[in-house]
């Protein structure tokens, strides 16, 4: 059992080191930490995440002892259970779940419209499980061909399932019925390409704001009926700078176009004659075509070690991370924003990797998914590409168009089948124009949510609770 757990930890360590290596760079460059401290914090995060593959290996070993080789075929259930745990424990960190590996493989990725990303994870794990089952058949080949062939029966079954899914998924993408439904709107995505070091430089603030206004006018001139700026795109706080707010409201009113953008927000308190900040929020504002504030959404899932430090008494040495940005408070409502008689939602930064949150928006009436982010933190690493792929999966799950505005890229438009209609490069200014549609049809996943994932957890628990001795 100890060996199984150790191998699982090793697997998880390799997996998460290879996918989250960039966090060290972020903490050194923008968090004010010394390199050795950043490495330590990142190692702690990787070690924690590696526990989940470790637990997976431990459970599979336990089932193998109790049920024999056939229990290997239950591995996908166990894997999905650990991914579900990773999504929710300690606020969750569901970055790069196994199913995201299939986002570019559109026919296979369509499974997420029924079972969510967890269903795709189970399919990928199922392939490995059946191969492991066949590889662990130690019976002599001289026994009988029929017995030897039986070892490959599960692999043949999963192959048949993949072929069937590929055919169904290809037909679903080809028909693309949702792309003909709903009312169309042309969106303009503004990618300002502001380096993180310049973002809060007072000497650069007016230039950054002017550039965003000019790029917005360019998008409106190209026919954009709705404008989306990235997370924290304003180098000012919108509600606390009347001059900046007036210029932005005037542009929206003159062009009769709604503008969605990110800006920090402060909730104030009064103490005597003084006005003091009570809480900080990472927020998204919508300025309506009449120049008024149409709605405000406050980010609900904050980035650990980026917007707050979890378990501060343990990670006291990481305090400079919060001092370098702000210790943000989390929003408590999935607010929808009104656009042209329809309702849209926005996920801020890595909120888009939470399937249940995006589903909450859709069940509340969101007809268009938007996500705004500032990926300048990541630099020229794999992180911006990981982030974009994960966002694309939400479009398939919910059967919605998704538009994404990122400060330094990747900005883009994804249709309800995961097809990328527009995509920018990283670290380049860009104005992207594209047509999307307001949709109301619900996918199976939108209706049932993560029932499949929870069923996997229940079945895993039952297999553990009711063990039996394997047959000799």
Cα gap 112→121, rounded to integer Å: 9
Tell me the backbone φ, ψ of residue 271, rounded to 5 degrees. -130, 105
State the first-to-last Cα distance of the chain, in angstroms, to the nearest integer. 20
Rounded Cα–Cα distance for residues 292 and 298 (Å): 18
DSSP 228-287: E--TT-SSS-GGG-HHHHHHHHHHHHHHT--EEEEEEEEEEEEETTEEEEEEEEEEEEEE
- Judged on CB neighbours under 10 Å (0-12, 13-18, 19+), 175 is exposed
Q: Catalytic residue, from 349, 351, 389, 398: name it.
A: 349
Q: Are 185 and 226 in contact (CB under 8 A)?
A: yes
- Which of 316, 351, 354, 343 is CA-nearest to residue 400? 343
**What are the Cα distances from residue 203, in Å, to 147, 207, 238?**
76, 8, 18
Give whole-number Cα distances, 275 to 266, 268, 271, in Å.
Answer: 11, 6, 6
Tokens for 148? 């030897």
Is 312 a residue of the active site? no
CA 459 – CA 447 distance, rounded (Å): 22
Catalytic choice (299, 307, 397, 456)? 299
428-460: b or e for each residue (b if 16 or more CB lie within 10 Å)? eebbbbbebbbbeeebebbeebbebbeebbeeb
> What are the tokens at 180?
């003909």
299 in active site: yes
Q: Which of 231, 307, 367, 397 is catalytic?
A: 231
Collapse the DSSP code of 299 into the 3-class scheme (helix H, G, I; strand E, B; otherwise coil) and give the result.
coil
Asked whether 93 and 305 are in contact (CB, 8 A), the reply is no
Q: Take residue 68 and report the two structure tokens written for it.
A: 């024999």
231 annotated active-site: yes
Q: Quote the CA–CA distance of 410 and 89 in Å, as a whole number.
A: 29
> What amino acid positions are annotated as catalytic residues?
231, 299, 349
């Amino acid at each position: 059992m100890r060996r199984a757990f150790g191998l699982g930890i090793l697997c998880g360590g390799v997996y998460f080191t290879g996918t989250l290596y960039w966090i060290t760079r972020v903490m050194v460059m923008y968090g004010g930490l010394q390199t050795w401290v950043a490495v330590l914090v990142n190692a702690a995060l990787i070690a924690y995440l590696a526990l989940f593959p470790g637990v997976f290996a431990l459970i599979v070993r336990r089932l193998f002892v109790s049920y024999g080789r056939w229990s290997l075929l239950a591995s996908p259930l166990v894997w999905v259970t650990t991914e579900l745990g990773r999504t929710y424990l300690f606020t969750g960190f569901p970055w790069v779940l196994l199913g995201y590996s299939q986002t570019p493989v559109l026919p296979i990725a369509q499974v997420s419209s029924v079972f969510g990303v967890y269903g795709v994870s189970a399919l990928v794990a199922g392939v490995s499980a059946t191969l492991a089952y066949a590889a662990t058949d130690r019976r002599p080949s001289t026994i009988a061909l029929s017995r030897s062939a039986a070892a490959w029966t599960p692999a043949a079954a999963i192959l048949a399932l993949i072929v069937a899914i590929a055919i169904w998924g290809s037909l679903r993408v080809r028909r693309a019925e949702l792309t003909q439904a709903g009312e169309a709107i042309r969106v303009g995505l503004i990618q300002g390409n502001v380096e993180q070091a310049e973002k809060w430089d007072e000497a650069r603030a007016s230039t950054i704001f002017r550039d965003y206004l000019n790029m917005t006018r360019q998008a409106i001139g190209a026919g954009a009926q709705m404008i989306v700026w990235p997370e924290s795109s304003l180098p000012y706080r919108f509600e606390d700078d009347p001059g900046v707010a007036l210029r932005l409201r005037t542009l929206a009113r003159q062009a009769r176009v709604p503008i969605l953008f990110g800006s920090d927000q402060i909730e104030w308190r009064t103490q005597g004659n003084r006005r003091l900040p009570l809480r900080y929020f990472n927020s998204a504002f919508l300025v309506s075509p009449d120049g008024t504030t149409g709605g405000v959404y406050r980010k609900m899932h904050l980035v650990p070690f980026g917007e707050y430090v979890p378990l501060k008494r343990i990670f006291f040495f990481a305090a400079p991370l919060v001092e370098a940005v702000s210790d943000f408070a989390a929003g408590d409502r999935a607010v929808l924003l009104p656009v042209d008689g329809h309702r849209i939602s926005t996920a801020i930064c890595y909120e888009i990797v939470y399937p249940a949150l995006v589903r909450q928006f859709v069940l509340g009436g969101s007809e268009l998914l938007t996500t705004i982010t500032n990926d300048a933190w990541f630099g020229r690493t794999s992180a911006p590409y990981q982030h974009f792929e994960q966002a694309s999966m939400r479009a398939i799950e919910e059967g919605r168009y998704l538009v994404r505005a990122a400060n330094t890229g990747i900005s883009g438009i994804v249709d309800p089948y995961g097809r990328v209609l527009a995509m920018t490069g990283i670290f380049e200014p860009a104005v992207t124009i594209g047509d999307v549609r307001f949709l109301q049809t619900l996918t199976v996943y939108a209706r049932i949510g993560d029932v499949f994932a929870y069923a996997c957890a229940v079945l895993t628990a039952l297999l553990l609770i009711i063990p039996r001795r394997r047959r000799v």
